[in-house]
Amino acid sequence: MYAEWGIKLKNKKSLFKTLLIIFIIKYSVVGMLLFTGAKKYVHSSNVELFTHELISNANIIIPVIEESLITKEHAVLHSIVRAMASNSNNRMTIIDTAGNVLMDSAHDADKMQNHANREEIKAVIDGHPHGKSMRYSSTLQKNMLYMALPVNVDGELAAILRLSVPVNEISVFTNAVFKNMAFIFFLIILIALAASYLISKKIASNISKLSDAAMEMASGNFGVRVDIDSKDEIGALAQSFNKMSDEINILFKEVNEGKEMLDKVLASVSDSIIMIDKSDKTLLFNDAFKSMFPDTQTGRHFWEFLRSKAIEDALRKMKDSKTDNMISGEFSSAGKDFTFVISKVKNEDKFVISLKDVTKFKQLENLKKDFITNASHELKTPVTAIIGFAETLEAEELSAEDRRYVEVIKKQAQRLSNIINDLLSLSSFENIKESEKKELNIVNVIDNVVSFYLKKSAEKGIKITSSAQHDLKNIYANEFNMEQLFINLVDNALKYTEKGEINIKAENAGEFVSVTVSDTGIGIPEEHISRLFERFYVVDKSRSKKSGGTGLGLSIVKHIVQLHHGSISIESAEGAGSKFKILLPCFVRV
């Protein structure tokens, strides 16, 4: 903890130093630029000031020079020029229009060079109102500011008056002004630095508060808030942080409540549930799964403790097909029977496997099957005897009433015999083995069934037809089961069709072969369709008894389809016939 506080304190100091250095550099650079610019501006302003002073002095003496040129009193002019030059500290020079020096207050005019090529003189000669230049004087051997103005007599240029002042005088004046500016600028810099110090300290403190709050939030304290009462960007950031903290806190509470609810739901579910990722590693599981597989741990591959080839194959199929459809199946492990359902988590590469222990259910199913099989076998002999005795009695001389009783006995015994046969068929279908299946041309099976019912359908005046796609694929099935399936469907269609036709159509449907058995019979009311494949369920009981139906035919059909990993559906409406559609997997050559 102390080390963490030390790091925080060090970070605060480092941030404060950084901000202070940034402010110092910023104000120093700005100060230097302002200082340099101010110096140039002051110097330029002083040059303009001295220029105006030279022009003012020239305007005073020009009238005197004009009069002297008219009167030719050069000696008087010379004395006047020297006196004014001495009083104004300006050097004065009078030059004729040819550039010859007529008079100079600081030097012997006769020894001076021709000035016609001087910049300021040339400007006046060329007709400009004045000429100005700043250059080195070879006569005085110093830098000078020159200002030349025309001296006119009778409107014509008669001479040129040039005044000059040493540049160092301007610099002395500029430096005096600049010293005062430097003092003021230094005070401003000190004030700015003091302000920078305070601002940097405040910013560093506020940023440190935000940093500390962010670290607390990262450690799990989602209720942390930042107390920064300022109107600047950092204040706005603090408000945004507090709002974010409140929203995250609310979301975290909702997530926790959702997780607690999920844990409670998973704990209360009797089925064993496990979630895995795309690499088969365990993400979560419920108590029921843990009790069933004690070695379960998150992060481990599920097949380390749940060994099932059926689940692994189904999971691989789901990954390869990239489908969101659920896949179900069965497997056995450690002497127990299970059913499983695998589903994909929406929009994620995660999968949920749900297991249900059906061991007791399977045992009860087996007991029921054994009972039905044994009971059917036991009942078959006495029922056959009853039918035999009833047929014997029919051959005897009996009264009309007795004969009617015998017919009832025989008919009901035959119906009971049919039920026993159907129950035995169901029992035999449930024991079918994969080795009894083979590649099968379904067209041959359909043709055999159609041929078998041609005579019976003709007696009722019903047309029975079949058609198949020319390149129809073969299926993988038990031939006897397929015959029984279509016999039951066609027989059912004949029972409930009084006129019209029965049609069987076979065609390819992707990885399946689709076979549709349709009729123009009485149809099935909508409320009965969902229960149609239940054992012993009969839509019209009076009609079923009349036709000798057992209520097991369609149950046998569905059972055969399921044993061959197919599906069956029905479309029907009362008075509009029925259409049974069966999908059977195609044969795949390995």
| Same fold across 13-172 and 434-585 | no
Architecture of domain 270-357: 2-Layer Sandwich (3.30)
pLDDT of residue 516: 92
**10-residue stretch averages of pLDDT, the chain, 590 residues long:** 41 58 69 69 72 81 79 72 73 85 80 85 87 78 84 85 78 66 75 72 73 76 73 74 80 80 74 87 86 86 86 85 77 83 85 87 77 70 76 77 78 72 64 69 90 87 89 87 87 85 91 90 80 68 50 78 86 85 81
Q: Which CATH class for the 434-585 domain?
A: alpha beta
* 383: nearest Cα among 405, 404, 414, 411: 414
DSSP H helical ranges for 104-226: 119-125, 167-218
Instruction: Tell me the per-residue pLDDT of 359-413, one tens digit each, with 9 for 90 and over.
Output: 888 788 777 777 767 776 677 677 777 777 777 877 777 777 877 887 778 777 7
For the record, the structure tokens of 480 come out as 């006897």
pLDDT value at position 427?
Answer: 63
What CATH fold (topology level) applies to the domain 362-430?
Answer: Helix Hairpins (1.10.287)
Query: Could you count the other beta carbons within 10 Å of the beta carbon of residue 425?
Result: 19
pTM of the model: 0.42
- The contacts of residue 61 (CB under 8 Å, 6+ apart) are 80, 81, 84, 92, 161
d(CA 189, CA 192): 5
129 within 8 A of 123, measured Cβ to Cβ? no
How far, CA to CA in Å, does 276 sit from each of 50, 279, 340, 544?
92, 8, 14, 51
3-state secondary structure labels for all residues of 319-376 = HHHCCCCCEEEEEEECCEEEEEEEEECCCCCEEEEEEEECHHHHHHHHHHHHHHHHHH
pLDDT of residue 539: 61
Looking at residue 7, its pLDDT comes to 42
Q: Where are the domains of the chain?
A: 13-172, 270-357, 362-430, 434-585
- 13-172, CATH topology level: Beta-Lactamase (3.30.450)
Identify the pLDDT of residue 140.
66
Radius of gyration of the chain, Cα coordinates, nearest whole angstrom: 59
